C-alpha cells in the first residue's frame, strides 16, 4: 500500500505537498541499442494544467509517456508523480496511483463491447474477486450495477457515446474508437491523463469534439493532462504550457504563444521556410 | 433507495435470459433435464445405448471443459496438461474418500489439490506464450502421467484404485439415475460460475490479459496474478470433474488421464467455441455423443459382416476425425458462435418477422 500516496497523508519528513511538483520528469535518458531516444529530458507539469508535448516524428514524445507508464525503464534519471519515484512502482500499480493514458495506435480490447472496455477502466476501483464475481450475488452484483450507472452518467454522457455503448469496439470507425479509448482512461478516475495524439487522423469536427472533451475533463474534473499532438491549432488553443522535443532533447518549454515565436522551435519542428510560419499561424 | 429506478432498469438489462420466450425455452429445458431419468429407460432401449450414462459423462466433461475454456478461451493460455490435472483431482478425491473423508470434503479437497498443482505447472505461463506454453504444459502431462502410473503405493498404478460411490446426507449415488442428478447439479453450478465470472471484474481482466496485455497493465491489471489465478480456477474445475468421475466410475486407473484426454478437452472447447460459456457444453456433447452415434452403424454393419469388424471400427475413428476437421473448417468460431447467430434470428420467435 506504500504506493498509494494521498495528498496530505504524507509523513512530516516528506516535503509539503504543494511544493512538490505534480509530475516531475528529471533528467531522463533512454537508449535503444545505439539510438539515444531521450537524452537528459527534464520538465515539470503543474497540477491542473494541460501540458502539451510537441516535436517532429521520432523526437521521443511517445517514449516519455512509456517511461511514465513504466513500459520503458530510463537508464538514468527519475520521474516523480506527486513525490513518488515511479521507478519503484510496478507497471500495473501506476494505474492505482491515478495515471491513465491513451495510445497513439489504439489499444482497445477490440472483441469486447464499448461498455466492457470502459468497465475495464474501472478495474482498480472495483473489488469483486473470483469467488464473489462467480457467485454474482449481493456485493458483486450491486458493484456491477453501481459501476454501470456511474459510467453511464459520468462518462458516456460526457463523451456522447450513448448510441454505441453496446457495440463491439472492433466494428466502430476510427474516430469513435479514439473516443472510447478516452472513455476507458476516464473510467480510471485519473489525476493525470496522458494522451498520445488523440486527434490524429480525425476530421475537423471530430477534432473539435475531442478538444472540447479534453477541456471539459481538465476544467470540470480538474484532471491534469499531458497531451502529445501534431495539430498546432489545437495545441495553441487548449494547452497551458508546451514542451518541445527534438532528437530526444528538450529544446524549449514555454507558453504556447512564446513557443510559437521561438526560432529554435520553428527551425527544428517545421524547417525554416515560410510555409512553416504559416503553419504555426504566424 | 434514491437510485431505485435506475437500479431496476440496469438489473433487467443484466438478466441472462432477457425475453419471455427465452425464459420459456429455458424452463422447458430444465423440466426435461429434471424429469429425464423417468423415461430414460425407454429412451435407452429405443436407441440401444445407455443414455443416462452418456449424459453423466457429458456433465462431467462439461465441468472440465468449462475449466479449460476459462484458461484457454478467456485468458488465452493454452494447456495440454488438463487430462493429467483431471487425474490429479480423481486420485486425490479417491484416496481421500478411501481414507474415510465424506464426499462434501473429499471432492473440494481434490479440486484444491488440483488447483495447487495446476498453478505450479502454470508458473511458466508468466514467461511463455502460445506454442511454448503448450509444450511446457505438455511436460506437466507427462510428468503427472508418469507419477500416476509409477507411484503405485498411492495410485495403485495400472491395476487401478477402487473408489466408493458418493454419498451425501445418507443417500448413496450408486446408480446411473441417482448420479445423474449429482452430475447435473455440478454441471449447472460450473456453468453459472463461468457465466458470472465472465461478466464481472475478474472475467473481464482475463479477457484483457488475453487480448492486449500491455493495455491490460496500463489499466491496472496485474498480469502475473491473473495468469496464475486463471490456471488455479481452471485446474480446480477440472479437478472437480476428475473427482466426480472417480465417484462415478468407482475404479480409476492412469489410462483415463493420458495426453489423449488433454487433446480431447482442447478439441472440445475449440469445436464448441473458445471464450463462450456455451462452448464447453456443446463441445462435451459433441465429443461424447458423436462417437456413440458412429458406433451404432458400425455395429449394425458388423452384425451383417462379422468378419470385417476391424475395418468398421477403424472407419468409425476416421469418420470421427473427418467430422472434427470439417467443423474446424466450416465453423472455425465453434458451435457456440453459430448458435448465437441462429438464436439472434429466432430470438423473438414466434414473432420474428
Ligand atoms: N521499442 C523501441 N525499440 C527501438 N526503438 C524505439 C522503440 N520505441 C521508440 N524507439 C525509437 O525512439 C525514437 C523516439 O520514438 P517515439 O515513438 O518516442 O517518437 P515520437 O516522438 O512519439 O514520434 P511520432 O510523432 O512519430 O509518434 C524513434 O527513433 C523510435 O524509432
Ligand atoms: Mg509517438
pLDDT tens digits, one per residue of B109-160: 999 999 999 999 999 888 888 888 999 999 999 999 999 988 888 888 778 8
B147, with CB counted inside 10 A (0-12, 13-18, 19+), is: middle
Smallest Cα distance from B349 to chain A, Å = 23
Confidence (pTM): 0.87
Question: Which residue range(s) make up the domain with A79?
Answer: 11-98+191-201+215-282
What distance separates the 2 farthest-apart alpha carbons in chain B? 79
The 10 Å Cβ neighbour count of residue A34 is 5
Supply the mean pLDDT for chain B. Answer: 86
In this structure, the answer to whether residues A77 and A26 fall within a common structural domain is yes
pLDDT at A188 over 80: yes
pLDDT at B163 over 60: yes
pLDDT, residue B17, reads: 67
Distances (CA, A) of A161 to A149, A167, A171: 14, 10, 14
Q: How far apart are the first and last CA of chain A?
A: 50
Place of cell 472510447: A180
Residues 6+ away with beta carbon under 8 Å from A263: none
ipTM of the complex: 0.84
User: B281 with B287: CB under 8 angstroms?
Assistant: no
According to CATH, the topology of domain B51-348 is: ABC transporter involved in vitamin B12 uptake, BtuC (1.10.3470)
Place of cell 491549432: A233
Place of cell 527534438: A246
pLDDT, residue B16, reads: 67
pLDDT, residue B64, reads: 96
User: Which of A155, A189, A223 marks a domain boundary?
Assistant: A189
User: Which of A189, A223, A241 marks a domain boundary?
Assistant: A189
Position A279 confidence tier, pLDDT thresholds 50, 70, 90: low
**pLDDT average, residue stretch A231-260:** 90
Q: What residues of chain A have any CB closer than 8 angstroms to a CB in chain B?
A: 69, 71, 90-96, 100-101, 103, 107-112, 116, 119-121, 123-124, 126-130, 133-136, 140-141, 143-145, 148-149, 184, 188
Q: What percent of chain A has pLDDT over 70?
A: 88
Nearest to B204 among A69, A120, A127 (CB): A120
For B347, the 3-state DSSP assignment is: coil
Residue A79 lies in a domain: yes
CATH number assigned to the domain comprising residue A21: 3.40.50.300
Residue A1 lies in a domain: no
Q: How far apart are CA A53 and CA A61, in angstroms?
A: 7
Position A266 confidence tier, pLDDT thresholds 50, 70, 90: confident
**How many residues in chain A?**
282
What distance separates the 2 farthest-apart alpha carbons in chain A? 67
Q: A243 in ligand 1 pocket by Cβ < 6 Å?
A: no
pLDDT tens digits, one per residue of B253-265: 888 899 999 999 9
Phi, psi of A279 (to 5 degrees): -65, -40
Q: Do A101 and B218 lie within an 8 Å CB cutoff?
A: yes
**pLDDT average, residue stretch B159-163:** 85
Q: How far apart are CA B94 and CA B106, in angstroms?
A: 8
In this structure, the answer to whether residues A140 and A78 fall within a common structural domain is no
pLDDT, residue B56, reads: 94
Position B338 confidence tier, pLDDT thresholds 50, 70, 90: confident
Q: A33 in ligand 1 pocket by Cβ < 6 Å?
A: no
Ligand 2 centroid to A47 CA: how many Å? 23
pLDDT tens digits, one per residue of B54-69: 999 999 999 999 999 9
DSSP A154: I
Q: What is the number of structural domains in chain A?
A: 2
Amino acid at each position: 500500500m506504500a504506493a498509494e500516496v494521498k495528498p496530505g497523508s504524507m509523513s512530516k519528513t516528506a516535503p509539503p505537498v504543494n511544493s512538490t511538483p505534480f509530475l516531475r520528469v528529471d533528467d531522463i535518458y533512454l537508449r535503444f541499442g545505439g539510438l539515444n531516444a531521450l537524452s537528459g529530458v527534464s520538465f515539470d507539469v503543474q497540477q491542473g494544467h494541460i501540458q502539451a508535448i510537441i516535436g517532429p516524428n521520432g523526437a521521443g514524445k511517445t517514449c516519455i509517456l512509456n517511461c511514465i507508464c513504466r513500459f520503458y525503464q530510463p537508464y538514468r534519471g527519475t520521474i516523480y508523480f506527486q513525490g513518488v519515484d515511479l521507478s519503484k512502482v510496478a507497471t500495473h500499480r501506476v494505474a492505482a496511483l491515478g495515471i491513465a493514458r491513451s495510445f497513439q495506435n489504439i489499444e482497445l480490447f477490440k472483441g469486447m463491447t464499448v461498455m466492457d472496455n470502459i468497465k475495464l477502466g474501472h478495474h482498480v476501483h472495483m473489488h469483486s474477486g473470483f469467488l464473489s464475481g462467480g457467485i454474482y450475488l449481493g456485493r458483486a452484483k450491486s458493484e456491477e450495477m453501481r459501476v454501470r450507472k456511474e459510467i453511464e452518467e459520468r462518462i458516456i454522457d460526457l463523451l456522447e457515446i450513448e448510441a454505441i455503448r453496446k457495440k463491439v469496439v472492433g466494428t466502430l470507425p476510427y474516430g469513435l474508437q479514439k473516443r472510447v479509448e478516452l472513455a476507458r482512461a476516464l473510467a480510471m478516475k485519473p489525476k493525470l491523463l496522458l494522451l498520445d495524439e488523440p486527434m490524429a487522423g480525425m476530421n475537423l469536427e471530430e477534432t473539435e469534439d475531442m478538444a472540447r472533451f479534453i477541456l471539459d475533463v481538465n476544467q470540470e474534473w480538474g484532471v491534469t493532462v499531458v497531451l502529445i499532438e501534431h495539430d498546432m491549432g489545437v495545441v495553441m488553443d487548449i494547452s497551458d504550457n508546451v514542451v518541445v522535443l527534438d532528437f530526444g532533447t528538450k529544446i524549449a518549454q514555454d507558453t504556447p504563444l512564446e513557443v510559437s515565436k521561438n526560432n529554435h522551435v520553428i527551425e527544428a519542428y517545421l524547417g525554416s521556410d515560410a510555409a512553416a510560419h504559416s503553419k504555426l499561424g504566424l | 433507495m434514491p437510485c431505485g429506478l435506475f437500479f431496476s432498469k440496469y438489473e433487467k438489462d443484466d438478466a441472462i435470459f432477457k425475453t419471455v420466450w427465452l425464459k420459456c425455452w429455458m424452463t422447458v429445458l430444465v423440466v426435461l433435464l429434471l424429469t429425464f431419468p423417468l423415461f430414460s429407460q425407454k429412451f435407452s432401449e429405443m436407441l440401444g445405448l445407455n443414455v443416462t450414462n452418456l449424459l453423466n459423462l457429458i456433465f462431467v466433461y462439461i465441468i472440465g471443459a468449462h475449466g479449460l475454456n476459462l484458461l484457454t478461451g478467456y485468458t488465452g493460455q493454452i494447456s495440454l496438461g488438463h487430462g493429467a490435472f483431471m487425474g490429479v483431482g480423481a486420485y486425490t478425491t479417491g484416496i481421500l474418500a478411501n481414507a474415510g473423508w465424506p464426499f462434501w470434503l473429499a471432492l473440494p479437497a481434490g479440486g484444491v489439490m488440483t488447483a495447487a498443482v495446476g498453478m505450479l505447472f502454470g508458473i511458466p505461463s508468466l514467461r511463455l506464450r502460445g506454442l511454448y506454453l503448450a509444450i511446457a504444459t505438455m511436460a506437466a502431462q507427462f510428468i503427472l502421467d508418469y507419477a500416476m502410473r509409477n507411484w503405485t503405493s498411492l495410485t495403485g498404478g495400472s491395476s487401478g484404485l477402487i473408489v466408493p460411490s458418493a454419498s451425501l446426507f445418507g443417500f448413496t449415488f450408486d446408480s446411473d439415475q441417482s448420479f445423474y442428478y449429482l452430475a447435473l447439479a455440478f454441471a449447472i453450478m460450473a456453468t453459472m460460475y463461468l457465466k458470472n465470472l465472465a461478466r464481472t471484474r475478474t472475467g473481464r481482466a482475463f479477457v484483457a490479459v488475453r487480448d492486449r496485455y500491455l493495455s491490460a497493465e496500463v489499466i491496472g491489471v496485474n498480469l502475473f496474478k491473473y495468469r496464475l489465478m486463471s490456471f488455479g480456477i481452471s485446474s480446480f474445475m477440472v479437478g472437480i470433474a476428475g473427482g466426480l468421475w472417480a465417484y462415478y466410475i468407482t475404479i480409476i486407473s492412469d489410462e483415463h488421464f493420458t495426453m489423449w484426454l488433454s487433446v480431447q478437452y482442447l478439441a472440445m472447447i475449440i469445436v464448441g467455441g473458445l471464450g463462450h460459456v456455451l462452448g464447453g457444453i456443446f463441445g462435451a456433447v459433441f465429443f461424447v455423443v458423436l462417437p456413440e452415434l458412429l458406433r451404432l452403424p458400425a455395429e449394425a454393419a458388423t452384425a451383417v459382416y462379422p468378419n470385417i469388424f476391424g475395418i468398421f471400427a477403424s472407419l468409425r475413428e476416421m469418420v470421427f476425425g473427418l467430422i472434427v476437421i470439417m467443423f474446424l473448417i466450416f465453423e472455425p468460431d465453434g458451435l457456440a458462435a453459430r448458435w448465437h447467430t441462429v438464436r439472434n434470428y429466432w430470438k423473438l420467435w414466434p414473432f420474428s418477422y
